[in-house]
Amino acid sequence: MDPVYNQPMPELQPTPHSPDRYRRPKRSLPLILIGLVFALWTVLGWLRFFGALARRELIVSLVGPGIHAYLLLAGLAWGLLGLPVLWALTFRSHWAPLALQPAAALYPVLYWLERILLWRDPGAHRNWPLMLLLTIAWVGLVFWGLRSAQSSGFFNRKHDNTGGG
């Protein structure tokens, strides 16, 4: 039998014992962006919480103890809400989509409730279209990030050998 030269090598399929069997898809662009936004929101939440703690007297003298308590609780909530999502995204936990969905909805809802019910700035109406556009873009990004095929493989439980899930 004559050897066949100049032919491409056949693709090797991963076997049950090959290291490729455990290789997951890379983190997709929407998941990277979602993680960065959650990191930002978490840091801002902690900054709000610690800022309200550090400037208690000033806040109470200007707006009262009710708003001070709200700032503390909202900062704590925003800071704590992002931690499990960031953990799940970082360690590719199979429960990440379950943690991400309510948190991704809650941040904009809290923002808009605060903006509508608490803000007293008469010039705040100028950036409503931008903030509404950003909210819609956020919802689209989360939908894209959770529905893409690459993301579903990223969180696939059967590939979970990292110990984070």
What are the pLDDT digits (tens) for 89-131? 998 888 988 999 999 999 999 889 888 888 777 777 788 899 9
Nearest to 154 by CA among 28, 4, 68, 59: 28
> CA dist 74 to 1, 51, 144, Å?
77, 12, 28
**pLDDT confidence tier of residue 135, bands split at 50, 70 and 90:** very high
What is the token pair recorded at 10? Answer: 């056949």
Q: How far is CA 70 from CA 29, 64, 75, 77, 145, in A?
A: 35, 10, 8, 10, 32
pLDDT on residue 115 = 86
Residue 78 vs residue 126, higher pLDDT? 78
Confidence of residue 48 (pLDDT cuts 50, 70, 90): very high
Overall residue count recorded for the chain in this entry: 165
For position 28, what pLDDT does the model report? 82
Per-residue model confidence (pLDDT) at position 127? 86
Q: Are 162 and 92 in contact (CB under 8 A)?
A: yes
pLDDT tens digit sequence for 9-28: 666 565 566 555 556 567 78
Provide the terminal-to-terminal Cα distance of the chain, rounded to the nearest Å: 52
